[in-house]
Structure 1
């Protein structure tokens, strides 16, 4: 099957069945989403959502976070992965946000990446979710699902290469939604160790499933 056809089938399926996907991170404003996304690096959204209510009670805005210390922030996020680094990033991010951006979350991906703790993936999430820009954030789920479905070649070995491959074939208006579609599919269906191929409604055009079926057909029948 041609790549163009795979994309068409993928987008048609999700547009019909999940027209309004959303992030599972719980937030009330752009500042809270930025903090949550920074915390979510190599950590589950579920764990982040358990931590952020008390964190946001103590630090409801960039100004309160900016005058705190990484040691204090650590006490609120100790159960998150890499809490030492993330507590430093959060304080540094808030200080730059207040000092250089007037406490406003910048819409530019380049400016977002100037903030401590904000890499390209995090910047793309903010640009997509908050500003509805055609930005494709590639996390481990998007990376895995894109390869398995055959949306990008196996030679696309970096998140940036996958991002560029996806952006070539997804209409800009659908990119913010497609980001969530791929993440949620990887989180609940196309699992890393044991993908639920039998329950997957994308298997009819999935390169991974096609290869899996061919190998099973080639396997010798057991003799008794």
Structure 2
């Protein structure tokens, strides 16, 4: 009888342990899934709102008035800085510079109306009438490119981890949460929300570069 009771206790203990272990594994899976979902949520692009449109209008105003000082003080984040994407004229490859401020601006602003649509820059070596933007004005879109992350990942493959995990997280954040702003005859930049404020984080000089 005692042996039988002991056997029952052992079986119950094994059953309880098995259930507890299974529950522990399931809980860990749920926590992991939550972390992934939270990360994806953090990298979601915020919807276009009045604050974003107002800040873009303010940038247009500062450009029009040649106010480079205010533009840098208000719209360049100290931690993230400013990435400038360009093509190297010697090998025609895409590179970037990391800067702390915008160095020069153009005052050519044709419109303060912000259109949420796409525009294309045409490179036409045979007919100048087709060269340039297919539309004029100010355009806001989600058409951001993975210039930065592509360059960094490729560089890390060729060199010994030139860019850190933190560097990759920053550019991933910029590429996934920013909007592209095109001001025809002026500049193309990304605007990113960082700590509840919008900042210029990237200037794209590749989009209008027709070199091959």
TM-score of the two chains, using structure 1 as the length reference: 0.23
Q: Which has the higher helix share?
A: 1
Q: Higher relative CO (CA 8 A, sep ≥ 6), structure 1 or 2?
A: 2
Length-normalised TM-score, structure 2:
0.24
